[in-house]
Amino acid sequence: RRAKTVPTKMKGGLVLALLVACLAGSEAFAPAGIPLLARSASSRAFSTPIGHGSAGNTLFSAARASPLRAQRTAPRMTVSLPADTPLKVGICGATGAVGKEIIGVLETRGFKVGELRLFGSARSAGREVETKFGKVTIEDFDLERARELDVVFVSVSGDFSKEWCDKMAEGDDGTIVIDNSSAFRYEKDVSLCVPEINADSARKGSKKVIANPNCTTAIGIMALWPLHKKYGLKKVLMSTYQAASGAGAEGMAELFDGAKAVVDGPEGTVAPNKHFAHPLPFNLIPHIDVFQDNLYTKEEMKVTWECQKIMNIPDLPVSCTSVRIPTFRAHAETIVIETDKAINPDEARKVLAEAPGCVLVDDPKGLKYPMPLTASKAYGVEVGRVRQSVVFGDKGLEFFVCGDQLLRGAALNAVLVAESLMQPVGTDFNPKL
């Protein structure tokens, strides 16, 4: 069919109109995956590259471009699960550290499971696992078997997720997929969900793939969000002390075996290292994930990108230093914030004590404060050491948080996402933990 001819006098006007639309930030003419040329300060979306934020912001101008990509927005849909019907549930990576915890969370939360399918490696296939829902045989992953389910939790690898998650979820007959990898976190049309904060982003998604945040983000943001709602966040400075569990079961085993080798060996013995950059027992490693062009690591930048997206504050300056420490599980974080409004520590403690998912542990005289020892295997995020910042004064607060990396940082959050889909759009999600 022949295209309609554009009159010569109109050609210049059309070109100018297209250029103006692009400069104004219209996504109608923006190729998928390419950041727009410019946006007004009030219309910046998650696709705005770090370094293209407000003028003079040295933190953002020094950072590498955010992976929150500009894409055409897909049509919205309601993503939901029935509240009173036993569900067909699948877990990919069921024999890994997070996969095992997901089974445990489903059991302890009383999640209504009508059928449980556990997908594992070829090495694990055929092995039987005892669960509260009956004895389940681990099977090789099969796409059609997965698509028969109501919801599938994925905790394998980014490559696995990129290959299979969309295929499991596509179409009206596809399943809901809750993915623990980083494969989809920065896709504009994929919900990055901490359900106590942004459940509706998952309920009103453009697709049935929902991303779980990085474990460090998921723990710290439980305290940041209620403080932001009350006082408004202006800056966030964070140092994290992350357990071996962040590297999975292999990392935990390396710490255990290495510590035993040092204790049992002659003086001066240094533990071997395979999964960490250096020996972890009796050591600290200020390096998690790969270094970026701005000399932050990717783990550190994940905290920046994900806090901005989850809380819907795309220009929030967040700086993080991540350190691997020789504990088995539960990440700890020192957080310093500057706020828009004056913040009183006593009032802030009350805000944190009442916040969903937070447990206030703040009694310095009684030597009570958050620790990995007390936060491990617990659902709540401990918050303590709350005090006025000597740097930011009456608009600043410092505090310490500690949360289980395998639970709040992964398995628990994933199951809570599924629970939040059982409630209507617009409903605040405040689960009992």
> 142: domain CATH number?
3.40.50.720
> Is 307 within the bounds of a domain?
yes
Tell me what the mean pLDDT of segment 91-98 comes to: 95
Quickly state the pLDDT bin for 67 (edges 50, 70, 90).
low
* Torsion sign, CA atoms 206, 195, 164, 152: negative
Contact present, 304 and 320 (Cβ < 8 Å): yes
Q: pTM for this structure?
A: 0.83
DSSP string for 392-426: TEEEEEEEEEEE-TTIIIIIHHHHHHHHHTTS-TT
State yes or no: pLDDT of 138 exceeds 60: yes
Active site includes 278?
no
> Is 371 inside a domain boundary?
yes
Dihedral pair phi/psi, residue 337, rounded to 5°: -125, 145
| Per-residue pLDDT, 77 | 78
> Would residue 3 count as lying in a domain?
no
Q: Are residues 196 and 311 in the same domain?
A: no
Range in 30-39, 252-261, 374-383, 403-412 with the lowest mean pLDDT: 30-39
Q: What residues contact residue 251 under an 8 Å CB cut-off, 6+ apart?
A: 244, 245, 275, 276, 280
Same domain, 220 and 288: yes
Residues 156 and 99 in one domain: yes
Q: Active-site residue among 165, 193, 228, 331?
A: 331
**Beta carbons within 8 Å of 234's beta carbon, 6+ residues apart:** 317, 337, 338, 339, 340, 395
User: Strand pairing of 393-403 and 331-339?
Assistant: antiparallel
26: its two tokens: 């219209």
Helices (H), 84-191: 97-108, 143-147, 158-169
Q: Tell how far CA 67 is from the center of its chain.
A: 14
Q: How many domains does the chain have?
A: 2
The residue count of the chain comes to: 433
Give the pLDDT of residue 40.
Answer: 30
Average the pLDDT over 231-260 and give the result.
96
Strand 209-211 and strand 318-324: the pairing is: unpaired
User: Which pLDDT score is estimated for 22?
Assistant: 40
**Are residues 198 and 296 located together in one domain of the fold?**
no
Instruction: Specify the DSSP element, H or E, that contains 14.
Output: helix 8-23
Indicate which residue of 92, 193, 215, 402 is catalytic. Answer: 215
- In the residue annotation, 320 being an active-site residue is answered as no
Strand positions, DSSP E, 205-312: 209-211, 233-242
How far is Cα 419 from Cα 151, in angstroms, rounded to an integer? 11
Same domain, 239 and 373: yes
Kindly indicate the confidence band of residue 74, based on its pLDDT and cuts at 50, 70 and 90. Answer: low
CATH at 313 = 3.30.360.10
Assess whether 334 and 418 both reside in one domain: no
The backbone region for 367, taken as left when phi is positive above 0, alpha when psi lies in -120 to 50, beta otherwise, is left
Domain shared by 192 and 222, yes or no = no
Share of the chain above pLDDT 90, in %: 80
Pairing mode of beta strands 209-211, 331-339: unpaired
Residue 249's pLDDT is: 87
Q: How far apart are the C-alpha atoms of 223 and 198, rounded to whole Å?
A: 14
Same domain, 171 and 233: no
**Residue 9, pLDDT score:** 41
The answer to whether residue 112 sits within a structural domain is yes
Q: How many CB atoms are closer than 10 A to CB 334? A: 16
Q: What is the pLDDT of residues 296-337, one digit of tens each?
A: 999 999 999 999 999 999 999 999 999 999 999 999 999 999
Reported as a pLDDT band with limits 50, 70 and 90, residue 6 is very low
What pLDDT, on a 0 to 100 scale, did the predictor assign at position 7? 43
Residue range of the domain that includes 304:
216-243+284-405
pLDDT score, position 23? 40
Confidence (pLDDT) at 355? 97
Please indicate, yes or no, if residue 269 is contained in any of the structural domains.
no
The answer for residues whose C-beta is within 8 angstroms of residue 32's C-beta and 6 or more apart is 69, 70, 71, 72
Report the alpha-carbon distance of residue 269 to residue 298 in Å, rounded: 31
Q: Strand, helix or coil at 237?
A: strand
- Domain identity same for 333 and 192: no
What are the pLDDT digits (tens) for 25-54? 433 333 333 333 223 333 323 333 333 333
Task: Let me know if residue 28 belongs to a domain.
Answer: no
Paired with 337 in beta bridges are 236, 397
Mean pLDDT within 264-280: 96
Residue 200 lies in a domain: yes
On whether both 238 and 334 belong to a single domain, the answer is: yes
Residue 376 pLDDT exceeds 60: yes
Q: What is the per-residue pLDDT for 39?
A: 30
89 phi and psi, to 5 degrees? -120, 140
What span, in angstroms and rounded, lies between the C-alpha atoms of 153 and 138?
Answer: 15
| Calpha distance 348→369 (Å, rounded) | 16
Residue 398 has pLDDT above 70, yes or no: yes
How confident is residue 68, by pLDDT bands cut at 50, 70 and 90?
Answer: low
pLDDT, tens digit, for every residue of 283-298?
999 999 999 999 999 9
Integer Cα distance of 22 and 33 in angstroms: 15
Asked whether residue 319 falls in the same domain as residue 384, the answer is: yes
Domain shared by 220 and 207, yes or no = no
Contact 165, 209 (CB under 8 A): yes
- Name which residue leads in pLDDT, 82 or 46: 82
Mean pLDDT of the chain: 87
pLDDT at 160: 96
Residue scoring higher pLDDT (301 or 22): 301
Q: Is pLDDT of 206 > 90? A: no
| 67 within some domain | no
Confidence of residue 1 (pLDDT cuts 50, 70, 90): very low
